[in-house]
Amino acid sequence: MSMPKPFNIALAGLGTVGGGTAHILLEKATWLAERCGRALRIVAWSDLEGHGKRDDCDLSSVPWFEDAAEMAAQAPADAVVELIGGVEGMAKQVCETALAHGRHVVTANKALLAHHGLALAEAAEEKGVCLAFEAAIAGGIPIVKSLREGLVANRCRHVVGILNGTCNYILTDMAKTGRPFSDILKESQELGYAEADPSFDIDGIDTAHKLALLAALAFGHRVDFDSVHIEGIAAITPTDITHAEELGFQIKLLGIAKEYDGRVEQRVHPCLVPQSSDIARVAGVENGIQVQGDKVGPTFYQGAGAGGLATGSAVVADLADLARGLRRPAFSLPVAALKPLIPAPISQRRGAAYLRFMARDEPGVVARIAQCLSERNISMETVLQHGQKDQSGSVPVIIVTHQCQETDLYVALETTAAIPEMTEKPLMIRIESFDDSQAS
Amino acid sequence: MSMPKPFNIALAGLGTVGGGTAHILLEKATWLAERCGRALRIVAWSDLEGHGKRDDCDLSSVPWFEDAAEMAAQAPADAVVELIGGVEGMAKQVCETALAHGRHVVTANKALLAHHGLALAEAAEEKGVCLAFEAAIAGGIPIVKSLREGLVANRCRHVVGILNGTCNYILTDMAKTGRPFSDILKESQELGYAEADPSFDIDGIDTAHKLALLAALAFGHRVDFDSVHIEGIAAITPTDITHAEELGFQIKLLGIAKEYDGRVEQRVHPCLVPQSSDIARVAGVENGIQVQGDKVGPTFYQGAGAGGLATGSAVVADLADLARGLRRPAFSLPVAALKPLIPAPISQRRGAAYLRFMARDEPGVVARIAQCLSERNISMETVLQHGQKDQSGSVPVIIVTHQCQETDLYVALETTAAIPEMTEKPLMIRIESFDDSQAS
């Protein structure tokens, strides 16, 4: 029996992930052919900077295109892999061109998908090809496949994840070393772990891109990045981390998506999570995701969220699926069947919170804060005031609230900010316990 | 556009998992049809005891067969779901008959697959149909799909898992309550968590069945249940658990499969694992699996390992894949391409161990034990002797060794057993750290 014809791949972008993908495809050619029943063959590549020769792979004998969009149109490829990055520009053009020419698209580009995923999925459906993006979320962890296929029997109640390795690395290192945010960020940039412009990571935007995709997959609605509430981690201080630990918590930047009463809540912000929770243990650059299914209960997935080989592993998994003939709508359902998302605004949240006030160490401050909180029916579970003055002579007053309304917190924080002894804007970090997910 | 014809399912066995499966298929009929592009329809069922009517589902209007094998032959089914259980007899006959008639088989029967999986996979290949078994390993966790598809780019170095919820529940409860093994087992049996004949669970056989399947999937070799080294948990006492915790460990029953030097080590036995490890945190009836891939690094999967709905969720995932046209060899590769497994015997293991000696509290006992160990080049890292006498007047002497040869441990334990003060056979529990999996 002769082997079926090869599955031809055009590779746009030969950076970290592109290089990792090419490396795996070349090194594992026989391995993959055995498992797919046909060869996975790189037939063209495009990269502005490279010459197709890197330490980890050599594409110098494979046809090169200066223009990636031209490659997407002309190369004899079954699938085009887009690893250029960016929301608009060449990345988008490559995907659109490939789909228009009836080629599958595999991409790791969460920003592009969060903004244009639906349009691309529709373009793919029109041509009867696939848009695949396992690599766009949580690197090498097969979370897209798990949500779309492995948990297909489940209506998801929530998806909660640590989805950005840079933020998790910074928070983990702050907890370990006690160094301030800015020092660790600067070091990470020097070491190449964090981008020169780190705002996508530390402001929570990258997490929000991924969360919007996860939520669409989990709940079967249209991707709606614009309704994601987004806060970053830049305001977190070593003081917060120390106090959180004293209270039995870790601070993590989470993406949280919940569906209830026909609405979907999507939010990205720092959280205090119990030290005993699975998510608290995800350290360093790792990612971790908890999915609450109505039939299977909670399942948890953890692993490398970034890196050329880990992310390349996910790109190759998508290519292998396509080579074996797997055909799937990009977001679990055909675009026409996806429900419009009705957002549940974060202002409707009810939950506990950690509040940190910086105030001059004078009598009556705690009483004044307590008064502001009680006016909004916010009751205090714990008050910590250890009296370590900082350089400005301020001391932190830490309050953990009982469950309360988000909007009451906003008002109370406004009124406390007006207390004369207050030396900084108060900081609020939400406490999330995922108690509903403990029972399986 | 008219919907394609339904995907027809015949259900053999309507116990816990069968009932859960039927419940999901009926409750989620629309949901699943939307996601699969066609209806998943139960067209026949067979169960010796039921009348097709349970609290969670009603099949009384669906054709019933007294003989499940007859159903597998005659019902107009695309797939036959085997949830009868057992290594031989009707379960095997149902699968063989269904495959012979060109129907897909979906099963949760790890015992059957561990013994006859290759023959069944071959029979499926001959007819161009599939043998699917997501539900056979770790209940609702999509680990089979992750290994076979999500991690296809990876050569696995090891797979390590807590694969039996009953054992993990007993060990977790021993740690929490300090009660002895036999009490908790008896209570679990009364509550229906443990089987009336619990030996498959507590002797490690169920874990070994699952491990043999995981290893075949992970390493691409023929299922080889006979070469799995198996030890159960019945010898573990609360004393061991307390001492393990004092030393920074939890005791877990693990299935461990590693490939190195072209050989595969498969073993099931209690282990001391660091309290800081992911696997140590898998509590109660949950399952957890760590996979070490050469490209993605370590990934970790956790969730419900048993229960009608959780396991039914996995059965339905397999059915949905088949309904959508997914076709896969059962063990990642066609049977003819699976390598024969060359076992690496456990006697070649090199590692640390926890040793518990019960001895009369007389001077010189530790010195005599130490002498026996040193004769085999086993050096001691820690010695604990807290002197709590048990009813027989014996005290436990706990020794943690440095890395040593498994065979040296065997000899040393033989010689220590002959020390006159020894009142019980010494117990050895291997220490496993998975250090190689920490770096990603």
* A375: its two tokens: 């006016």
Q: Which residues of chain A lie closer than 8 angstroms to B297, CB-CB?
A: 140, 303-304, 307, 310
pLDDT at position B50, please? 63
Q: How far is CA B186 from CA B16, B191, B203, in A?
A: 21, 9, 15
Angle between helices B110-127 and B89-100 (to 10 degrees): 20
Place of tokens 């915790």: B245
Q: What is the pLDDT of residue A189?
A: 86
Mean per-residue pLDDT, B100-126: 98
**Confidence band, pLDDT 50/70/90 cuts, at residue A196:** confident
| Bigger pLDDT: B309 vs B60 | B309
Band the pLDDT of A437: cuts 50, 70, 90.
very low
Mean pLDDT, residues B15-22? 94
- Compare A54 and A50 and report the one with higher pLDDT: A54
Q: For B304, which of A34, A149, A440 is closest by C-beta distance?
A: A440
pLDDT of residue A31 exceeding 50, the answer is yes
H-run or E-run covering A302: strand A297-304
Interface contact flag, B302 A300, Cβ < 8 Å: yes
Whether residue A294 contacts residue B312, with contact meaning beta carbons closer than 8 Å, is answered with no
Transcribe B64-94 into DSSP letters: B-S-HHHHHHHS--SEEEE-S--SSHHHHHH
pLDDT in tens, B133-163: 999 999 999 999 999 999 999 999 999 999 9
Per-residue pLDDT at B439 exceeds 70: no
The pLDDT value given to residue B437: 40
Mean model confidence pLDDT for chain B: 93
Task: Summarize the confidence of residues A279-286 as an average pLDDT.
Answer: 94
Pick from A153, A304, A312: which is nearest to B440 by CB? A304
For residue A21, the chain B residue with the least C-alpha distance is B153
Per-residue confidence (pLDDT) for residue B391, from 0 to 100 = 74
- Sort out which chain B residues have CB atoms less than 8 A from A332's CB and list them: 35
Identify which of B32, B310, B440 has the shortest CB distance to residue A296.
B310
Say if the Cβ atoms of B151 and A298 lie within 8 Å.
no
Amino acid A434: pLDDT: 77
A134 — phi, psi (to 5°)?
-50, -35
Looking at chain A, the whole-number percentage of residues with pLDDT higher than 90 is 87
Q: Which of A146, A313, A337 sits opposite B293 (nearest CB)?
A: A313
Q: Name the residue with higher pLDDT: B48 or B175.
A: B175
- Distance between CA atoms of A340 and A349, rounded to whole angstroms? 21
How close, in Å, is residue B319 to chain A by CA atoms? Answer: 10
- Higher-scoring residue by pLDDT: A406, B435: A406
- Residue B387: predicted pLDDT: 67
pLDDT exceeds 50 at position B175: yes
DSSP string, A146-184: IIIIITTT--EEEEEEE--HHHHHHHHHHHHH---HHHH
- How high is the pLDDT of residue A2? 62
**pLDDT score recorded for residue A438:** 36
Mean pLDDT of chain A: 93
Contact B304, B284 (CB under 8 A): no
SS3 breakdown of chain A: % helix, strand, coil, rounded to 5? 40, 25, 35
How many A×B Cβ pairs under 8 Å?
183
Contact A296 B325 (CB under 8 A): no
Cβ–Cβ < 8 Å for A294, A153: no
pLDDT at A320 over 70: yes
The confidence score (pLDDT) of residue B53 equals 72
> So which residues of B are the catalytic ones?
210
Closest chain B C-alpha to A111 CA, distance in angstroms:
22
Q: pLDDT tens, B378-421?
A: 999 999 987 677 777 899 999 999 999 999 999 999 999 999 99
Question: Does position A294 have pLDDT exceeding 60, yes or no?
Answer: yes
C-alpha span between A366 and A359 (Å, rounded): 9
Find the residue in B nearest to A140 (Cα).
B296
Distance between A435 CA and the closest CA of chain B, angstroms: 15
A333: chain B residues, CB-CB within 8 Å: 34-35
H runs (alpha helix) in B220-288: 238-246
Q: Which residues of A touch B7 (CB under 8 A)?
A: none
- State how far the Cα of B258 lies from the Cα of B292, in Å rounded to an integer: 9
ipTM score for this prediction = 0.95
Instruction: Report chain A residues whose CB lies below 8 A from the CB of B24.
Output: 153, 295
* Distance from C-alpha of B176 to C-alpha of B97, rounded to nearest angstrom: 47
**For residue A435, what pLDDT is reported?**
59
Contact A153 B278 (CB under 8 A): no
pLDDT in the model for residue B192: 75
Average pLDDT over residues B180-191: 90
pLDDT of residue A82: 98
Long-range contacts of residues B64-67, Cβ cutoff 8 Å, at least 24 apart:
none
